[in-house]
Amino acid sequence: MEEIARAKINLALHVRGREPDGYHRLETVFAFAEHGDLLRASEAAELSLRIEGPFAEGLSAGEDNLVLRAARKLQARLQVGKGAALTLNKRLPVASGIGGGSADAAAALRLLNRLWGVGAGEPELLGIARSLGADVPACVLSRPCLGTGRGDDLAPYDASAVTGAPLLLVNPGVAVSTADVFRGWAGRDGGPLPEDLLSAHNDLEEPAKAVAPVIGDVLEALAAASGARLVRMSGSGATCFALFESEAERDKATAEIAAAHPHWWQLASRLG
């Protein structure tokens, strides 16, 4: 069996405040690309993980990996006596603002729920996901939703205006620390999310550009592309994205950016 760990996109992200425990209150719109990492699983007596793919280098396949942590928690919660041989094809860059380990952990919960035939519903999977990280619940759903609180209080969101839109993700090859970006937040309330996504923003763009100025170059390159209707950074960076009017315009932008910046990572997809 296999499951796609779809890349997470923050169509908007407003930081509303900082809590005494150090966490930040957010309002964000989650959406997901059609593509991402790929997780495969087969039956086995014990749990194991192997990592392959273009971004596998340097990643630990040990017990600290979120995929195995998710698997262990599902085992314990539902008292599963089975194991699984897991293989993660790491196609998305690490520490890049598009889900990464959170999407992989969420894929593990969905995949093992099927492989083991335990029949856990979304509420049960979401309960496990919340113990793994703020983005993991949204990644379990992998459909448009509104995230509040730390980002893990979820509500349905109507993203029909952009669903299916041609999407281009671009990362300049720089890993950005989420903690460093949040530390750079100016402390101003970003205000509630407007109904019109085009009027929203990502409050973490400026502190992320202070950490990695090349993010500004990526945003400029995407904004200059013909047919780009929404250009923004996702999460805490460094991946940025553009939604396009047509696949032809997206593909033209992909080729132009690849020619000008051959070392930047790109993924042409659609918004699911």
Whether 133 and 6 share a structural domain: yes
Cis ω for the linkage preceding 225 (within 30 of 0): no
Whether 70 and 202 share a structural domain: no
- pLDDT the model gives residue 172: 98
C-alpha 51, offset from chain centre: 18
Count of positions (residues) in the chain? 272
| Closest C-alpha to 74, from 138, 136, 31 | 136
| Closest C-alpha to 177, from 102, 256, 65, 95 | 95
Which residues are known catalytic residues?
Answer: 8, 135
For residue 21, pLDDT beyond 90? no
- pLDDT the model gives residue 22: 85
Whether 170 and 152 share a structural domain: no
Q: Is residue 161 part of a domain?
A: no
End-to-end CA distance of the chain: 21
The whole-angstrom separation of Cα 174 and Cα 216 is 12
Whether 131 and 39 share a structural domain: yes
Point out the domain boundary residue: 156, 188, 208: 156
Whether 111 and 185 share a structural domain: no
Instruction: Name every residue whose Cβ is closer than 8 Å to that of residue 40 and which is 6 or more positions away in sequence.
Output: 1, 2, 86, 87, 89
Whether 64 and 194 share a structural domain: no
Q: In the predicted model, what is the mean pLDDT of the chain?
A: 97
Domain region containing 239:
166-270
CA dihedral of residues 151, 141, 68, 179 (deg, nearest 10): -20
Residues 204-218: tens digit of each pLDDT: 999 999 999 999 999
What is the number of domains present in the chain? Answer: 2
* CATH number for position 53: 3.30.230.10
Amino acid letter, residue 271: L
